[in-house]
A = this chain, B = another copy of it.
Amino acid sequence: MTTPGRSASEYSEVQHSRLKVGLPLPSVIKNSFTIVDGPPSSSSGNPDEIAKLFPCLFGQPSAMLKPGDSGQSDQSLKIGVVLSGGQAPGGHNVISGIFDYLQNRTKGSVLYGFKGGPAGVMNGKYVELTADFVYPYRNQGGFDMICSGRDKIETPEQFTQAQETAKKLDLDGLVVIGGDDSNTNACLLAENFRSKNMKTRVIGCPKTIDGDLKSKEVPTSFGFDTACKIYAEMIGNVMTDARSTGKYYHFVRLMGRAASHITLECALQTHPNVTIIGEEVAAQKQTLKNVTDYITDIICKRAEHGYNYGVVLIPEGLIDFIPEVQQLISELNEILANDVVDEGGIWKKKLRTQSQQLFDFLPQAIQEQLLLERDPHGNVQVAKIETEKMLIEMVETALEKKKKEGQYKKDFNGQSHFFGYEGRCGLPSNFDSNYCYALGYGAGALLQSGKTGLISSVGNLGAPVQDWTVGGTALTSLMDVERRHGKFKPVIKKAMVELEGAPFKKFESMRDDWATKNRYVSPGPVQFVGATSNDLSHTLMLELGVQA
């Protein structure tokens, strides 16, 4: 199957206007630069183990571009690029950035796009990226230029396959665009190539709409900005609808299975009545009943203020943050594997008391789902539970009880929403367009200067693009180990919502006000032109300290 490529002749007016818009570059990389190494690095945790896992790369310094002339050769390069994991707006601009760097700085270079993710590296499926091929994807959403995949390069055989491809194409470098896992694997590949004395360098790029790949040097992952703005647009519209109609509670589930950054950012942008942050639920060891009671109490308070409507934001990973649910699921998996689920419910006695109570607390549809729908390994499919619908049912039941007790007098109407696919492939915001282009351009510079095992890092993002910093951070410095199957595995730990961080603190200081009063904000559609078009996400502004 060939990648047919896009034709801009099919584009909408907005797509055309985005295609034509120029991309600004940080001054430091636009002009001549030299690369300055920092001090030796360590790791995020367990440096001894990381040192053992990365004997060639451990301890290498991060790199920063500075004005000057490094006298680098402009020798042509052969570079590969691969997209790994889920879509995020801006991926095409990373590739455009690499391409333009090579065109402008290393005449005669070739860029290969590996097709369908890391599998393309292993089986040697690629397309040579030409100016005509790349052009229609500039500032456009999606990953369809070369498509992505979720395969990993991790076994010895797979490393050998990757080596063969690198040798066959005589690759000087490979850029891996991906999330925490993909960047960990990029570093393993860099280590592997280096250990084999191959010339192929590997540079990572931070991608994920979930926003959970970040550190001091990597202020944000690309795609988070656009995805949150698209979700926030829709939440704002639903809020206005709620206020106009005056009779619905909208429960909105948002992407983010591991971390709740998207939910927090959307809350900061729109001021919903209720926002559940998974990390807080976990820190406080809340039960599902606690969460239900919290929502129910706010609904009752709002009823006293005369408001019988509202908006509730929920991260899709909520259930994974609740310890008792995890316990129930593991007991259920055990029972379902070994016992018969009898209609009379005798099987339930095998659950621990707390799990039994939780099971009985769940809406019937969820009970049935837990018992009936299982994955190929026979396990309960937690990911398939529509958390927002489950919460609507539980809140409804709790409110009926309160109504009987005279503590609630309205009629509750819940409406469920899941905003997911709509945000992953939108046209990238100005921020993501510019950030990704700089990430790609910077990756080109790092490869040209012989760097490997770094993640492209663009900083000082609160300033205008021209003042952004460009460099690379040692991937090993972001790593810790986890013990899996008796072995240490390197991992870049997901950045969770910090309960002491500025974004959560700001949310925390305002949420009670948002709960009972209506402080709804409608961010509106992403604008590409005008005063509002270059706004950063609230999360990033608060973390950078450029917003109070």
Chain A residues engaging chain B, CB cutoff 8 angstroms: 1, 4, 10-15, 17-18, 87, 116, 140-144, 147-148, 230, 233-234, 236-238, 240-241, 243-246, 250, 269, 271, 306, 415, 417, 421-427, 518-532, 535
Smallest beta-carbon distance A160→chain B, Å: 27
Chain B residues, Cβ within 8 Å of A116: 246
Are the C-beta atoms of A14 and B237 separated by less than 8 Å? no
Are the C-beta atoms of A10 and B521 separated by less than 8 Å? yes
Are the C-beta atoms of A427 and B525 separated by less than 8 Å? yes
Task: Using known A-B contacts A237-B141, A306-B1, A530-B17, determine if residue A425 contacts B12 with beta carbons closer than 8 Å.
Answer: no
Are the C-beta atoms of B528 and A421 separated by less than 8 Å? no
Task: Using known A-B contacts A15-B521, A519-B10, A532-B17, determine if residue A240 contacts B144 with beta carbons closer than 8 Å.
Answer: yes
Chain B residues, Cβ within 8 Å of A526: 525
Chain B residues, Cβ within 8 Å of A521: 10-12, 15
Q: List 11 A-B contacts (CB under 8 A).
A: A10-B520, A12-B523, A14-B527, A142-B244, A143-B244, A144-B244, A147-B244, A230-B237, A238-B422, A427-B524, A525-B526
Nearest-CB residue, chain B, relative to A246: B147
Are the C-beta atoms of B271 and A13 separated by less than 8 Å? no
Residue from B234, B241, B522, B530 in contact with A87 in the complex, judged by beta carbons closer than 8 Å: B241
Smallest beta-carbon distance A535→chain B, Å: 6
Task: Using known A-B contacts A522-B15, A524-B427, determine if residue A237 contacts B10 with beta carbons closer than 8 Å.
Answer: no
Are the C-beta atoms of A269 and B530 separated by less than 8 Å? no
Nearest-CB residue, chain B, relative to A526: B525
Chain B residues, Cβ within 8 Å of A423: 237
Q: In whole angstroms, what is the CA distance A526 to B417 when docked?
A: 21
Task: Using known A-B contacts A525-B526, A528-B527, determine if residue A425 contacts B13 with beta carbons closer than 8 Å.
Answer: no
Smallest beta-carbon distance A97→chain B, Å: 19
Q: In whole angstroms, what is the CA distance A87 to B242 when docked?
A: 10
Are the C-beta atoms of A524 and B425 separated by less than 8 Å? no
Q: In whole angstroms, what is the CA distance A245 to B424 when docked?
A: 11
Are the C-beta atoms of A12 and B143 separated by less than 8 Å? no
Task: Using known A-B contacts A237-B425, A421-B250, determine if residue A524 contacts B87 with beta carbons closer than 8 Å.
Answer: no
Are the C-beta atoms of A237 and B524 separated by less than 8 Å? no
Task: Using known A-B contacts A1-B306, A147-B246, determine if residue A241 contacts B17 with beta carbons closer than 8 Å.
Answer: no
Chain B residues, Cβ within 8 Å of A238: 421-422, 425
Q: In whole angstroms, what is the CA distance A141 to B306 when docked?
A: 22
Nearest-CB residue, chain B, relative to A519: B10
Smallest beta-carbon distance A336→chain B, Å: 22
Task: Using known A-B contacts A144-B240, A246-B147, A421-B238, determine if residue A426 contacts B525 with beta carbons closer than 8 Å.
Answer: yes
Are the C-beta atoms of A141 and B421 separated by less than 8 Å? no
Are the C-beta atoms of A244 and B87 separated by less than 8 Å? yes
Are the C-beta atoms of A12 and B524 separated by less than 8 Å? yes
Task: Using known A-B contacts A230-B237, A237-B425, A240-B141, determine if residue A524 contacts B147 with beta carbons closer than 8 Å.
Answer: no
Chain B residues, Cβ within 8 Å of A532: 12-14, 17
Residue from B243, B519, B524 in contact with A144 in the complex, judged by beta carbons closer than 8 Å: B243
Chain B residues, Cβ within 8 Å of A523: 12, 14-15
Smallest beta-carbon distance A269→chain B, Å: 7
Are the C-beta atoms of B246 and A422 separated by less than 8 Å? no
Are the C-beta atoms of B142 and A241 separated by less than 8 Å? yes
Chain B residues, Cβ within 8 Å of A425: 237-238, 240-241, 244
Are the C-beta atoms of B14 and A525 separated by less than 8 Å? yes
Additional A-B contact list (7), CB under 8 Å, known A14-B523, A14-B532, A528-B530? A12-B523, A142-B240, A233-B525, A415-B421, A427-B524, A525-B526, A529-B530
Q: In whole angstroms, what is the CA distance A271 to B10 when docked?
A: 9
Task: Using known A-B contacts A17-B532, A241-B142, A244-B425, determine if residue A12 contacts B148 with beta carbons closer than 8 Å.
Answer: no
Nearest-CB residue, chain B, relative to A424: B241
Are the C-beta atoms of A522 and B244 separated by less than 8 Å? no
